[in-house]
């Protein structure tokens, strides 16, 4: 008897889940995902019991609590590398709230595996990046670990309710981390970030409930719940009843979801929280914010918007691409005008996330793969950038781009790595950034109506090159600004955080198929759902 049968009595549902998503994989066999999600949480609890003065023990626990998920992530990577990313793996399904048919349903496929690996990696690195936090060490690391739990959960959850819970769990520690350990205007930034994202998640909640109440999974048995939160089942279009059959309502739901995720991505009109949040957040937090939190928006669109409302995905694909283009050009232009280095990198993140949107907007295999790869690459590259900005901030205590000058002579190694990061960011071939950008553009171009939009977006690479090199010149080249005579070179710890990321960027630059094959599997299943769900190519 199939393990699923003690959750669903309707054989059709089991068949649908098995064929499209789970394949023959055993369920509840390996609890690697739960471990990865809740070990940090456990760490947080342990930290709370450690006496306040013992800072090093707190840090040690934090390292272990993020180290274990990293090891597990390595195993996840190996499994996906050998078996490809088409089917859901490491699936766990337990009843959570039986009456409402809510399950603790966790699983990852080609789409979410890279994100899980990225979260584990950045989480581990950021612990070392926040080594010299002195104020409230216990609280900081406890909140950080809870944040990691939230993030990991979001990427593993396959139940809409569970997804939403993790989404909120991730939100709260972030608010405190920015609000307490931030820069001068930290309260304003923290509040703005929190309320903005919360407003988004309210919309998501509405859509979730609408989805819940308008699906009928035709379960047998007297008290069998008819509705479900199971994301995989919700993709089954002929289970949609009630308002989900009416075109305008589906469009409304799609737009609601889009706004919720657009705030997180961030997309053009909803992006103003990002520069403030980044400028005020401490180094490690802005690495996590840029490295992982921005991906939640795009991941949400991949996991929820596209498969659940595929016809809407196609109907509004041009819009998404246009938003992508605006993000690219507008983000790049704003970045050029910034004088605070962190704000500049924040706007560059907006521009880079624009590539993801363009790739996704195209709804072609190449574009989607490019978008997913760009999400991963942006995580590593911008992670490096923020770490580097943190390094200079700790020494010079200001981030004003014009305030430096000619540092390359004083700190050549630091200048070298910063140069490497800048070139990776502007998409120099030989580094991973270029591959994802190229794929997004190729994908974008394949769409019959996106030629002009993609052409204009390619202009983005010129603007990006301009502002990044201009900034590099202002900081590192030119005559040495002797105000920084006593500037020390980058130290071992900081190097330890940067080198692994650099290696990943180069390896993926030369051999992208390592991760692209993983993503390819997941994207194929997604594309089948979209084309099947949408019935016909609506454009």
Residues at the contact surface with other proteins, assessed by CB under 8 A: 192, 195-196, 269, 271-273, 330, 333-334, 336-338, 364-366, 368-370, 406, 408-409, 423, 428-430, 434-435, 438-439, 441-443, 445-446, 451, 454-455, 458-459, 461-462, 465-467, 469-470, 472-473, 476-480, 512-513, 516-517, 520, 523-524, 527
**Is 168 or 446 the residue whose CB approaches other proteins more closely?**
446
**Is 5 or 513 the residue whose CB approaches other proteins more closely?**
513
- DSSP3 helix / strand / coil % (the chain, rounded to 5): 75, 5, 20
**Cis preceding-peptide flag for 266 (omega within 30 of 0):** yes
Query: Is the alpha carbon torsion for 504, 510, 513, 514 positive or negative?
Result: negative
Considering the complex, what minimum distance in angstroms separates the CB of residue 456 from other proteins? 10
The CA–CA distances, whole Å, from 405 to 104, 320, 342 equal 54, 40, 17
Considering the complex, what minimum distance in angstroms separates the CB of residue 326 from other proteins? 11
**Is 412 or 535 the residue whose CB approaches other proteins more closely?**
412
Among 216, 215, 219, smallest CA distance to 10 is for: 219
**Is 164 or 330 the residue whose CB approaches other proteins more closely?**
330
d(CA 274, CA 181): 17
Burial code of 211-235, b = ≥16 C-beta within 10 A, e = fewer? Answer: bbebbebebeeeeebebbbbbbbbb
DSSP 8-state secondary structure symbol assigned to residue 104: E
SS3 183: coil
The CA–CA distances, whole Å, from 221 to 7, 10, 11, 279, 389 equal 12, 10, 13, 56, 60
Angle at 254 between CA 106 and CA 163, to 5 degrees: 20
**Is 64 or 336 the residue whose CB approaches other proteins more closely?**
336
Considering the complex, what minimum distance in angstroms separates the CB of residue 227 from other proteins? 34
> Can you spell out the DSSP letters for 299-365?
HHIIIIIHHHSHHHHHHTHHHHHHHHHHHHHHHHHHHHT--BHHHHHHHHHHHHHHHHHHHHHHTSH
**Is 181 or 423 the residue whose CB approaches other proteins more closely?**
423
**Is 74 or 199 the residue whose CB approaches other proteins more closely?**
199
**Is 290 or 438 the residue whose CB approaches other proteins more closely?**
438
The total number of residues shown for the chain amounts to: 539
In this structure, are residues 129 and 539 in contact, taking their beta carbons and an 8 Å threshold?
no
In this structure, are residues 40 and 146 in contact, taking their beta carbons and an 8 Å threshold?
yes
Considering the complex, what minimum distance in angstroms separates the CB of residue 512 from other proteins? 5
Considering the complex, what minimum distance in angstroms separates the CB of residue 438 from other proteins? 7
Among 84, 86, 114, 80, smallest CA distance to 23 is for: 86
**Is 308 or 523 the residue whose CB approaches other proteins more closely?**
523
Considering the complex, what minimum distance in angstroms separates the CB of residue 235 from other proteins? 19
Considering the complex, what minimum distance in angstroms separates the CB of residue 532 from other proteins? 16
φ/ψ of 435, rounded to 5, equals -55, -50
**Is 430 or 535 the residue whose CB approaches other proteins more closely?**
430
Angle at 374 between CA 126 and CA 325, to 5 degrees: 120
d(CA 530, CA 306): 7
Considering the complex, what minimum distance in angstroms separates the CB of residue 450 from other proteins? 10
Considering the complex, what minimum distance in angstroms separates the CB of residue 419 from other proteins? 8
SS3 230: strand
Considering the complex, what minimum distance in angstroms separates the CB of residue 452 from other proteins? 11
Considering the complex, what minimum distance in angstroms separates the CB of residue 56 from other proteins? 33
Considering the complex, what minimum distance in angstroms separates the CB of residue 536 from other proteins? 19
In this structure, are residues 464 and 425 in contact, taking their beta carbons and an 8 Å threshold?
yes
Within 182-309, where are the H helices? 186-213, 231-234, 247-264, 273-280, 283-288, 294-300, 306-308
**Is 77 or 445 the residue whose CB approaches other proteins more closely?**
445
**Is 151 or 415 the residue whose CB approaches other proteins more closely?**
415
d(CA 269, CA 266): 8
Considering the complex, what minimum distance in angstroms separates the CB of residue 363 from other proteins? 11
**Is 156 or 407 the residue whose CB approaches other proteins more closely?**
407
Among 167, 173, 166, 191, smallest CA distance to 136 is for: 173
DSSP 8-state secondary structure symbol assigned to residue 253: H
**Is 145 or 519 the residue whose CB approaches other proteins more closely?**
519
Considering the complex, what minimum distance in angstroms separates the CB of residue 143 from other proteins? 25
d(CA 118, CA 379): 7
């Amino acid at each position: 008897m199939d393990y699923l049968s003690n959750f669903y009595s309707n054989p059709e549902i089991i068949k649908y889940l098995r064929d499209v998503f789970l394949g023959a994989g055993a369920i509840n066999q390996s609890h690697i995902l739960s471990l990865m999600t809740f070990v940090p949480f456990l760490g947080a609890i342990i930290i709370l019991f450690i006496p306040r003065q013992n800072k090093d023990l707190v840090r040690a626990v934090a390292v272990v609590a993020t180290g274990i998920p990293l090891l597990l992530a390595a195993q996840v990577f190996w499994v996906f590398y050998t078996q490809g990313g088409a089917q859901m793996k490491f699936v766990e399904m337990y009843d959570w709230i039986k009456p409402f048919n809510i399950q603790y349903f966790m699983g990852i496929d080609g789409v979410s595996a890279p994100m899980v690996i990225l979260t584990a990696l950045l989480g581990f690195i950021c612990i070392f990046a926040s080594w010299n936090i002195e104020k409230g060490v216990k609280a900081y690391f406890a909140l950080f670990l809870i944040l990691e739990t939230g993030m990991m959960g979001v990427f593993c959850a396959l139940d809409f309710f569970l997804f939403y819970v993790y989404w909120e769990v991730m939100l709260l520690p972030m608010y405190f981390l920015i609000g307490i350990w931030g820069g001068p205007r930290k309260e304003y930034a923290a509040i703005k970030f929190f309320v903005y994202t919360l407003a988004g998640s309210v919309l998501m909640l509405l859509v979730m409930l609408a989805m819940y109440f308008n699906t009928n999974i035709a379960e047998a048995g007297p008290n069998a719940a008819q509705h479900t939160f199971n994301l995989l089942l919700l993709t089954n279009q002929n289970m949609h009843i009630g308002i989900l059959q009416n075109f305008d309502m589906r469009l409304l739901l799609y737009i609601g979801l889009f706004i919720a995720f657009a705030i997180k991505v961030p997309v053009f009109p909803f992006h103003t929280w990002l520069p403030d949040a980044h400028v005020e957040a401490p180094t490690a937090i802005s690495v996590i914010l840029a490295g992982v939190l921005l991906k939640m928006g795009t991941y949400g669109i991949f996991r929820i918007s596209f498969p659940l409302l595929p016809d809407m995905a196609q109907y509004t694909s041009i819009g998404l691409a246009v938003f992508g283009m605006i993000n690219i050009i507008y983000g790049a232009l704003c970045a050029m005008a910034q004088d605070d280095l962190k704000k500049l990198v924040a706007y560059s993140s907006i521009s880079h996330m624009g590539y993801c949107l363009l790739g996704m907007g195209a709804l072609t295999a190449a574009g989607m793969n490019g978008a997913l790869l760009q999400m991963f690459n942006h995580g590593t590259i911008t992670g490096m950038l923020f770490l580097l900005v943190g390094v200079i901030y700790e020494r010079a205590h200001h981030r004003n781009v014009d305030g430096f000058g000619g540092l390359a002579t004083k700190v050549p190694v630091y200048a070298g790595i910063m140069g490497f990061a800048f070139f990776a960011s502007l998409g120099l071939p030989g580094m991973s950034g270029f591959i994802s950008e190229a794929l997004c553009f190729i994908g974008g171009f394949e769409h019959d109506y996106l030629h002009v939009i993609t052409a204009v977006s390619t202009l983005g690479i010129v603007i990006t090159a301009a502002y990044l090199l201009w900034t590099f010149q202002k900081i590192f080249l030119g005559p040495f600004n002797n105000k920084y005579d006593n500037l020390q070179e980058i130290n071992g710890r900081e190097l330890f955080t940067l080198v692994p990321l650099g290696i990943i960027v180069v390896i993926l630059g030369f051999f992208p198929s390592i991760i692209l094959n993983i993503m390819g599997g997941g994207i194929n299943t997604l594309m089948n759902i979209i084309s099947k769900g949408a019935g016909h190519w609506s454009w």
